[in-house]
Structures are given as C-alpha cells and as structure tokens.
Amino acid sequence: MTTESEGDRITQPWGARTPYRRGDVWPLRVDMELADGVHEADVDRWVPSASVLHSNGDAFDIAVRDGRIVGVRGRGGDRVNRGRLDPKDLFGWQATAAQDRLTTPLIRVEGRLRPCDWDTAMDRIVSRTRELLDAHGPESISFYTSGQLFLEEYYTLAVIARGGIGTNHLDGNTRLCTATAAESLKQSFGCDGQPGSYTDIDHADVIALYGHNVAETQGVLWSRMLDRLAGPQPPALICVDPRPTPVAQHATVHLAPLPGTNVVVMNALLHELIANDWIDGDYISAHTVGFDDLAAAVSDWTPQRAAEVCGIDADDLRRAAHLLGTAEHLVSTVLQGFYQSHQATAAAVQVNNIHLLRGMLGRPGCGVLQMNGQPTAQNTRECGADGDIAGFRNWANEKHIAELARLWNVDTDRLSHDGPPTDAMQMIRLAETGDLRMLWISATNPVVSLPQLERIRRIFVQDNLFVIVQDIFPTETTELADVVLPAAAWGEKTGTFTNADRTVHISEQAVQPPGMAKSDLEIFLDFARRMDLRDRDDAPLPPWHDPESAFRAWQQCGAGRPCDYRGISYQRLRDGGIQWPCPPDRPDGTERLYQDGRFYAAPDYCENYGKDLVSGDPWDEDRYRDFNPDGKAMIKPAPYQPPPEAPSPEYPLALITGRTIYHFHTRTKTGRTPQLQQAAPEVWVEISAADAKAADIDDSDLVRITTPRGSIVARARRTEIRPGVIFVPFHYGYWDTSGNEHDRAANELTRTEWDPASKQPLFKTAAARIELTESDDHR
C-alpha cells in the first residue's frame, strides 16, 4: 500500500500510478490531506463519508479534531476508489468552515433581506403556502431541488410535495445534469439503473468515452483507467469530444466532431458494426426487439457521409468502429458532451445500441455507464424528487400509482398524475407566465446554472412569484429570494447516497452546523409539521423523524423495484459501499445488471412506455405492449436533425461550455477553497490557433464573446480545440465571494432549448462571435 500525503495534487491531479494488468484487482493507494500542523495521530475521530463534489462516490473518512473538520483520508477498503482521492476531495472540505456561511433565516422586508428566527421564516412560508392552496390549488406550488442532498431528504421532499401538497411540480437540477442518462436507460432497458460497474474498467480491452472528460470530472475513475494504461495489456481508448481533453490525449482514436452532430457519429459506428457483421446475432434475437429498424436507419450512414457532416476523418471513424467491433470486453461511458448537446437522448441511446448489438452487457468488462454528474443525482431520480415517481415507478401505470398511495397511506387522487411530472424547464416557463406562484429551491444555484440568465433573473424577481432558497452560502440565487433558509452542509448531517455505479455510501455527521443552520431533512419535516400534513388515518405525513427512520421508509418504497435497498443498513454501510439492487436474499448487492439477459422492461414493471426519440412524444401502454410484449431490451434508431443554432456569418463559432478539474459548478465550495480557487481563479475561453489568428487574438488577451442572448468577457486561452469551436467553463457567476460583480457567466450566452425526450437543456449548442476587448475595468 502506498500512502500519499499531500504531494502536489494541484499540478498532479491524479497522483502516482499503481499499474495493474487486465483482470487483476486495482491496487490500493490511500490518499490523505490534513490541515497544516495536524498529524494523523492528532485526529480525535474518523467519520465515514464520501465525496459530494462529483458522482464518483470516492469514499473517505472525515478527520475531526476539537469539533472541527481537519481533513480527509481515503478508504482503502472501498470498492469505488480503493483509497484514492481527487483534488476536490482532498481540499474541498475546507469550504464548509468558511466565514460567510448562512447562519440565520432571512426574509425580505421592504426590498432587503433581513435576519430572523426560524418561526418567523417558516410562518411566512406556511401562510403563503396556505393562501396559494386556497386560492389557486396545489399546482401553483413548485419545488426545485438538487442532485446534492441525501436520499432521505429527497424521499421526504417527494412525499411532502406529491403526497402531502399534491403538486406535480417537483423536479431537480438533475434535469440539467442526468435527465438524459435516466431517459436513455429507460428507452433501452425499460428502467433507470446503471447496467455496468466500475470494476468493468479492470477487465476492458476497449474503453469508449462519449462526450465525457472523465479526467477532470471523475478524477479517481480516470486514475483507474490510467493505471490500466500503465500496466500490461492496456485497453484501447476511444474519445469523442471536440476538445483536446486529457482523455483525448491518451486516446487510441480521438474523434472531434462538430458540436451537435453526435447522432451522426453514432449512426456511422453502428453502420460499420452491421456492415462488417461485428454483431452478436444470437444475443440480438434472444434478448432484444427493434434491430431491423436500426439496420435500415443507419444503412445510409457510411463513414464517408458521416465524416462530412461531423467534420472529421472517415478513416478515424472506421478505426473507432473496428475497435468497437472487435473488442472482447467493451466499456462505454457517456456524459455531458452527449447529454447537453443536440439530440441528447437519441445519441445516448445509440451507445446502448452498440452494447446490445454486440451482446456486451452483464459480464465482467462489458458495461455501459450512462454516467451521473452530481454526487446524489441517482437518489433524486430513484426517490422521485425529479420528473419521475418514487421507486422508478411509471406515472402512467395506474397500479404503480396505487402502490405509492398505499405506501404513503394517502388517497390515489392526491397523487397528481394526469400527465408526466413537470420538468424544470416547464416549471420556469410556468413561473414566467404567472401560473406558478411559489418556487422552493433547495441546494441549487439556478441564477448561475440555468440557460439564458437574463431571462431567469427577470422571472425570479416577478412580484407574484414567491421564491424560497435553501442553501449553505449566500449566492446569486439567494440574492433574489423572498425567504432564505440556512442549511447544514455535508459533514454536518447524516444520510446516504448512491454514485454512478449504484454504490450506496453513508455520510455521517462529523461536526455541528453553524449558527441556526439545520439539515435539509429537518427543514422539510418542520414544514410538513407546520402545514399539519396528514395521511388517510390522520397520522402525520411523512411519519418519520430522522435520517435512519426515513431510510427505513425508503427501503419499503424500493422493495421489489430495481433500487431495492432492503439488504442495506446504516450499520453495514459503515464498513463500505454496497451496490443496489440489494434485496434481502442478496445482501452483498449486485455488481452488474442484466447478467441473465433479462431486463426491467416488462410492460407491467417498466418505468415508462417509451418515447419518440426525436419529437419526444410519449408512447402509450398499447404501443409499448405491441413493440415489446416480453420486456426485452429495446433497440431504437434515431435519424439525424441539424442543430437548432448553427454557426452563421454573424455568429461564426460553435460555443460549448463545461468544466475544469479544480471547480465544482458555481464554485460556492471550491471558490472558498484556497488551493482550488488559486488553481483556476478566473474565467477563460478556449480557442484554436486558427480562429485566434483570424480574430487577431493572442494568448491571455481579454475578449468579448457574444451570442444572440448576451455577452461576457474572458481571457483567451489557445489550445488544440477543434477550429470553429470555442469553450467557456460555466463555473463563474457574476458574483465573486467578495461581492464584486463580473461580466463572465457562461449562461448569459446559452439558449432556452432542450432535448425533446429528456427535457435536458442544450448547454453545449450555440453560435457565438468573439472579438478583442479593450476593457479591463471589470477585473
């Protein structure tokens, strides 16, 4: 075992290599970071937890000394990270102790936010909720939550919103994040739930990454890949990304398509698999429906034709297809370069199709990871705190609705289900039109993260919209709120959450929250009690009172569903992560789904009845039963459609947005972490040498970037990005932690536009122009 203390993990984000060979167990490497002057022996207590700064689920213990968090140490025994930590894991814990935490509730009085006590803030919320329920009914009330709370908190909120208040307007920022992951899994396999496992990396001979910069966004998973690359029998890597990411730099084949043309890349790869007969006919006929339609749909997509549309080399496409077609153990990962780009669900489903055509599922080394991004996004989805309903149930299946009503002991008609649960983009639209009058935001910062910010600000300040924001810091969004509620952060509360490969971890309270801050669970339960929400027998709804009792209620809700947690307990989680499904007769959990070629797709069991991938029109039960009576995996093709906003003479560049390894989202935590903030203090724009030259721009010049929605100023950074494309990280809001304002938020530029099937916004498809700017005054 190597123990890595510090080193320079800012310049060496992935640490030292521990090479291993195919089929071996990934070696241990325990990483640790402690506050200056603190040694391992000085630590009073180690409290089990996992990272909340990405979806990887890196497990570690929090070091506590004198009632304060003083560091973290990776858990060598955990299946996910085998002790490793990435830079945000190593340093990010410092943020919760920042001086400017929210410590009291705030209410708006004569235009200004003023501190108050909990009774005053909650009374204001409860009286407004009651007024709105009386005057306009439950559909005037909405909740916009997160992918960063705990399972217990989402389940509680779902019961309150859907079973207590009776509104259909509950979604998470997971809509911006993994709505397409969930939708693509439902479309192909009938239900959400990651087929693959991280251990598949240990066995793969080809790893294909589609729009996924894993090196910067799940650094420990990338370390696993780097260690395979450094060992004997390294896997081949395929990278589909317009930028020269670290993944692209290590790739055997790098395809850099024009943004918005992913479906064409995929159709050409599928064309080649079929044309060369690199498919598993037995698997296809035994376990799938829909192959003939796919074969017809891709028959014209020769590499030559696709290469012209995507602006790439046809031979590169052929080389990638050859690797995919001849792999014996293929792992694919998909993330925002597909999910936030044009034809998101359509493209993500084609990755599933490759695995179905090749029969590469449910065996070691054969897995799809339709990745998550946020640490607890999987739980938002499974608890039904997003546009799904709890336990991956089907809102259009009366029996599923009746099951939920029974579990929650409420009348079936309390659960609004005339249409699909409202998605976040539609909720914002309803707020804009005035139909929605209360928006309760928890653990998300939409005034930086939603597209077209000028519009979002305009909507949030409307007089007839009552905005509640529950956060741990003041943000661009709390600034516009009517009531602000101070929440306890990670490390200050207990709960469980599930990573991108279905591994559940526990995170226990290590220290006290500051001031009057309370956990999100306590806040939601307090609201339910003050509203006097009741079930059919007049008992309080929800009936639980703390994290563990909420967890036990959730176990009942997930019983018999894929997200079955019955074999998991807080006590067992203290020893390390466990993968669901974990029914009582399989207490060690389940490494891979679909090992037996059986899917969660039976018409009576599936999570939805499917959709048209292009228009998003939902199918009804009859159509689903016709297409897939036996609940097999579904192969669905998608025709290409050109992106909605292509470069033009006025806006000649394709603008994409995304992340850097050092920051998390709107930087409320990483901007308050000295090492991380120093590593990436300001916004920049990546531009190719050719485009920079054409616009007379040098490295680190200040430039103005303009789209039809707005403009921002950033420093130019010349890279090997594909010419015609520019990239802006979206981390920098118009505020900084000192309260200064800047002209720099990427979402001033993005469009109000979404994928019709998953309703995920297109943060990676817009046209822009760029020019030198003289102004340095906003720095």
Ligand X SMILES: Nc1nc2c(c(=O)[nH]1)N[C@H]1C(S)=C(S)[C@@H](COP(=O)(O)OP(=O)(O)OC[C@H]3O[C@@H](n4cnc5c(=O)[nH]c(N)nc54)[C@H](O)[C@@H]3O)O[C@H]1N2
DSSP state of 672: G
Q: Residues 382, 499: contact at Cβ < 8 Å? A: no
Select the span of 67-75, 154-162, 331-339, 767-775 touching ligand X (CB under 6 A).
331-339
The span from the CA of 643 to the CA of 260, in Å, is 6
CA nearest neighbour of 494 among 574, 579, 377, 558? 574
In angstroms, what CA-CA distances link 632 with 167, 361, 581, 600?
34, 13, 19, 8
Q: Residues 221, 214: contact at Cβ < 8 Å? A: yes
422 binds, among Mo ion, ligand X, none (CB under 5 to 8 A by kind): none
In whole angstroms, how close is the CB of 580 to Mo ion at the nearest point?
Answer: 21
663 binds, among ligand X, Mo ion, none (CB under 5 to 8 A by kind): ligand X
Classified as helix, coil or strand, 475 is coil
Q: Does 238 bind ligand X (CB under 6 A)?
A: no
For residues 408 to 447, the per-residue mask of contacts with ligand X, x marking binding by CB under 6 A and - elsewhere, is ----------------------------------xxxxx-
Classified as helix, coil or strand, 550 is helix
Q: Which of residues 82-141 bind ligand X (CB under 6 A)?
A: 88
Select the span of 105-113, 195-203, 653-661, 766-774 touching ligand X (CB under 6 A).
653-661
Q: Does 449 bind ligand X (CB under 6 A)?
A: yes
Among 181, 439, 487, 712, binds ligand X (CB under 6 A): 487
Q: Does 520 bind ligand X (CB under 6 A)?
A: yes
CA nearest neighbour of 159 among 559, 564, 605, 557? 557
764 binds, among ligand X, Mo ion, none (CB under 5 to 8 A by kind): ligand X
The span from the CA of 772 to the CA of 704, in Å, is 6
Which residues, in sequence order, are CB contacts of 242 under 8 Å at separation 6+?
Answer: 256, 257, 258, 259, 337, 654, 656, 721, 722, 725
Q: Does 518 bind ligand X (CB under 6 A)?
A: no
73 binds, among Mo ion, ligand X, none (CB under 5 to 8 A by kind): none
The two tokens of residue 110 are 């004569």
In whole angstroms, how close is the CB of 259 to ligand X at the nearest point?
Answer: 4
Query: Site size for ligand X, by CB under 6 A?
Result: 64
Cβ-based nearer residue to Mo ion, 70 or 177? 177
Select the span of 212-220, 423-431, 613-621, 707-715 touching ligand X (CB under 6 A).
212-220
Classified as helix, coil or strand, 443 is coil
Q: Does 213 bind ligand X (CB under 6 A)?
A: yes
Q: Which of residues 521-580 bind ligand X (CB under 6 A)?
A: none
The span from the CA of 626 to the CA of 617, in Å, is 17
Cβ-based nearer residue to ligand X, 167 or 444? 444
Select the span of 123-131, 205-213, 285-293, 417-425 touching ligand X (CB under 6 A).
205-213
Q: Does 664 bind ligand X (CB under 6 A)?
A: yes
Cβ-based nearer residue to ligand X, 68 or 659? 659
656 binds, among ligand X, Mo ion, none (CB under 5 to 8 A by kind): ligand X
Among 193, 542, 658, 671, binds ligand X (CB under 6 A): 658
Among 227, 471, 535, 753, binds ligand X (CB under 6 A): 471
Element spanning 47, H or E: strand 45-50
Q: Residues 711, 46: contact at Cβ < 8 Å? A: no
The span from the CA of 422 to the CA of 383, in Å, is 15
Among 180, 188, 194, 217, binds ligand X (CB under 6 A): 217
Select the span of 160-168, 393-401, 483-491, 548-556 touching ligand X (CB under 6 A).
483-491
Q: Does 223 bind ligand X (CB under 6 A)?
A: no
Among 70, 132, 176, 770, binds ligand X (CB under 6 A): 176
Q: Does 663 bind ligand X (CB under 6 A)?
A: yes
Can you give 373-436 as a three-state secondary structure string? Answer: CCCCHHHHHHCCCCCCECCCECCCCHHHHHHHHHHHCCCHHHCCCCCCCCCHHHHHHHHHHCCC
CA 633 centroid distance within chain? 24
Residue nearest to ligand X (CB): 373
Q: Does 750 bind ligand X (CB under 6 A)?
A: yes
Q: Does 760 bind ligand X (CB under 6 A)?
A: no
Report strand pairing: 170-172 vs 288-289: unpaired
Q: Does 49 bind ligand X (CB under 6 A)?
A: no
In whole angstroms, how close is the CB of 283 to ligand X at the nearest point?
Answer: 27
Q: Does 81 bind ligand X (CB under 6 A)?
A: no
Classified as helix, coil or strand, 741 is strand
Among 205, 216, 607, 755, binds ligand X (CB under 6 A): 216
Classified as helix, coil or strand, 41 is helix
Q: Does 764 bind ligand X (CB under 6 A)?
A: yes
Sheet holding 170-172, edge to edge: 112-115, 106-109, 483-486, 466-471, 438-442, 141-145, 170-172
Cβ-based nearer residue to Mo ion, 267 or 747? 747
631 binds, among ligand X, Mo ion, none (CB under 5 to 8 A by kind): none
Q: Which of residues 247-276 bind ligand X (CB under 6 A)?
A: 257, 259-260, 262
Radius of gyration for the chain, computed over Cα atoms and rounded to the nearest angstrom: 25
Torsion angle of C-alpha atoms 151, 154, 156, 157, degrees rounded to 10? 170
CA 305 centroid distance within chain? 33
Select the span of 211-219, 291-299, 580-588, 768-776 touching ligand X (CB under 6 A).
211-219
Pinpoint the alpha helices (H) of 242-343: 246-249, 262-275, 281-287, 291-298, 303-310, 314-326, 336-339
How close are the terminal C-alpha atoms of the chain, in Å? 46
Among 503, 668, 673, 688, binds ligand X (CB under 6 A): 668
Q: Which residue has the tokens 């599923």?
A: 400
In whole angstroms, how close is the CB of 340 to Mo ion at the nearest point?
Answer: 9
Select the span of 113-121, 143-151, 299-307, 598-606 touching ligand X (CB under 6 A).
143-151
In whole angstroms, how close is the CB of 341 to ligand X at the nearest point?
Answer: 3
Which residues, in sequence order, are CB contacts of 718 under 8 Å at separation 6+?
Answer: 686, 687, 688, 689, 692, 699
In whole angstroms, how close is the CB of 687 to ligand X at the nearest point?
Answer: 13
Cβ-based nearer residue to Mo ion, 122 or 177? 177
In whole angstroms, how close is the CB of 277 to ligand X at the nearest point?
Answer: 27
In angstroms, what CA-CA distances link 552 with 151, 155, 383, 584?
11, 11, 13, 14
CB-based burial, 445-475: b 16+ in 10 Å, e otherwise: bbbbbbbbbeebbebbeeeebbbbbbbbbbb
CB-based burial, 590-606: b 16+ in 10 Å, e otherwise: bbbbbeeeebbbbbebb
Q: Residues 248, 241: contact at Cβ < 8 Å? A: yes
Enumerate binding residues for Mo ion (CB under 5 A): 177, 373-374
In whole angstroms, how close is the CB of 668 to ligand X at the nearest point?
Answer: 3
In whole angstroms, how close is the CB of 524 to ligand X at the nearest point?
Answer: 10
In whole angstroms, how close is the CB of 600 to ligand X at the nearest point?
Answer: 24
- Which residues are near ligand X by CB under 6 A? 54-55, 88, 146-149, 173, 176-177, 211-213, 216-217, 240-243, 245, 257, 259-260, 262, 335-337, 340-341, 373-374, 442-446, 448-449, 470-473, 475, 487, 489-490, 520, 656-659, 661, 663-666, 668, 727, 730, 746-747, 750, 763-764
